[in-house]
Structure 1
Amino acid sequence: MADTGPGPAGPPSGMEAVATAPFDDEMLAGVLPYGTERTVARGDVLYQAGDEAAPFVVVLEGEAEVVRASESDDAIVATRGANGFLGELNLLTGQRPYLTARMATDGRVLVIEPDAFRQLMSAKPDVSDIVFRAFVARRQLLRSGEGATAIRIVGSRYSSEAMALRAYANRVRVPHTWVDLEDVDDPARFLADIDATPDDVPLVDTPTARLCKPTPGEFAHHIGLTYTAVPGFHADLVVVGCGPAGLAASVYGASEGLETVALDGVGPGGQAGASSRIENYVGFPNGVSGDDLVGRAAIQAMRLGARLNAPCEVAALREAEHGFFELALTDGSELVTKAVIVATGARYRRLEVDDLDRFEGAGVYYAATDLEARVCGGGDVVVVGGGNSAGQAAIYLAQQGSAVRLVVRRDGLGETMSQYLVT
């Protein structure tokens, strides 16, 4: 389990300074008309872990604290004083809050409900800039700090089910802590101490429930990241697929004021998101990791108003009345839209070997991110393929200490792999 304890006190780092930046008085004056002022007392809860929709809260007087609450203790994750504001990327993604915000002193706050918050972000670019920079910085800090302990995934590194949960959490950048039972001295005792059994794992502990052997879809539904049908809602544009092309379409659609919904069967990123480093993507002369590329694109799309939902699979597409289209999802819900863009990309080829299913996600992987590299642990690795993804994977895994063998069917790499990877 990663060390998530607080570091020594001192001046804020660059990221911490961005995360804690308050509104100036001019910005605050522009924000006030969008919310409702409330007088609050010490201990009053502003929003609670698991709430369906947390508001955007600005502290006008006094001090608020964000805590990771548990049955045994409450850990303070952050504090916000006058002109400071609460919230992080969950206000964009729709994820239910996993931390609780309460008043540390008496004071006054401004409460802005989700619809008004979206209007504010669209109408006030200067406010939007400081808020979204803070949200991104806060999510980064939460993924490596005390906030990450609010959601815990417990399982074995050799479990494909546990790997699927970890991969999903990483794809959508959900702060969480991973407990590998292979690293625990006495797994049976550890499970007993947390009131679990071997039949329960992999399990996910959240502030409101324990999920035993959940699928990524069940995990996503519990934390509020899957698509939820709203009676009477009609989208202007639905994008099926959240790889670079789908995310670009979502950005363009949302930027034109279209009610845009993007769906993906796994999570934002597609094949690019599984690449450790991309050197030939326009606009990044020094290269960029796939995770960073799609993370930026996803945040940009959400900032402009697009809704990204995953995992969501489309089972059928049919014409509806009055020129609309209707998408049927595999969970039984339906989505009506004026236009559909299909950006489903490619499907990985699978090895034609016996019993492959048993090893997928538990020794056979279709990505080479930091997650897979840590599972490989510097051991011997065979990369099958001669395209750019294979080349990027081989280089990255070798840099992480693995002895890598590249297996290709052709006579050389130059026929199918970009020159920058071959040389």
Structure 2
Amino acid sequence: MKILLASFFALPSIGGLWTYVQQLKQYLERMGHDVDVFAHHPEKRSYYMFHQTNDFDIKKAKTQVSPVFSPAYYQVDSLSDPKIADMELQRCIYEAAALHLGVTEYDIIHTQDIISTMAIARVKRKETPLIATIHGCYTVEILENGVISSKDSPHWTYSSLLEYYGVTASDVTIVPSQWMKNLLVQQFNVPSHYMKVIPNGMDIERFLKEMESADEFVSPLDKKIIACVARLHKLKGHHHLLEALARLKNERTDWVCWIIGAGSLQKDLERQSQDLQLEEHVMFLGARNDVAALLKKVDICTLPSLQENCPYSVMEAQVAGKPIVASAVGGITEMVQHEITGLLSPPGQEEPLYLNLKRVMEEETLRHQIADNAKEWGQKQWSLEMMMKRTLAVYEKALQKKHKGGKRFELQPKK
């Protein structure tokens, strides 16, 4: 079968979206399927298919479409916000790119966000099943980032409608956490029957092998290593972590913190670290492809996020047998049980985060018990095989519904 994995956002990228797409692609290819990826190019100039040499130039498309498109939107008061008009223009260009690059050639399409789902639902063949996975709440994220001024604004209303139609435009929408499902039902009035909860999975055997790989970092003597694995984005809460670490430094200095990840906030965070006089304690390691090997050397993992769904960094910490100090936010509360498989604190609050970091460093018995519990839980819970079995069942059901039972999807990988 020909299967298309589609994202409105750039791929490859840093973060869980790319991890999910990579794992899905590799697994389906091992089963013998042809898998393509359609996404925004990382250089942001075009949309492209991974397997094709040609792409779809965004600037050229905007030049052709904007003179006709924009005036029509500005004639409607509720759509006169430039951000709304621009988002609609981007969505239409994405639709055109999908058609131009051959979206109608696939047997199954699996989108990765609300925008690609809405767009592709409009241009795919009617008989092609459309599955979506929603990795985060786009509307809440842009509100937190200040793109939406308030929940009373036309932009919030518009984006809420995007959220609703982006979930309901597919045949089935997968969400990785019950929190995500509840949020979409309660805040955006999405009927619950449109969604199926399938937690993320990971290739545990491969990850454990990668933990044994060599890397160039030498563990500091007589110091605990704290690691935060996350892209450098406002919603990941690094600025709160640095404030908590400054308080920890006043109590003890036998630690270092590795900030693993890249993003637009790096310079701001480096400046904050200097202002807090943390240069000897905090290292910015950037984007890494040897996270598993680094985690072997780590004593404590932390994720101080302000919003999360089902983060791979928590999954990886648990599989690696590391105690996790995280925010009690979103899907994390389904992944971490306080004082059993980790320590949780309210999001955005630096004092409780500092106290949990201090506690897990001071209480050795607790630290080891949490690590052991997390490892046992993680290696059972985060099986890639289980995630794929559930995902393939969704594919099969959607195919049978579209083709009235006439088409069968092979569930087991080829040996």
How does the TM-score come out when normalised to structure 2?
Answer: 0.24
Greater per-residue strand proportion: 1
Between Structure 1 and Structure 2, the one with more helix by share is 2
Name the structure, 1 or 2, with higher relative contact order (CA <8 Å, separation 6+). 2
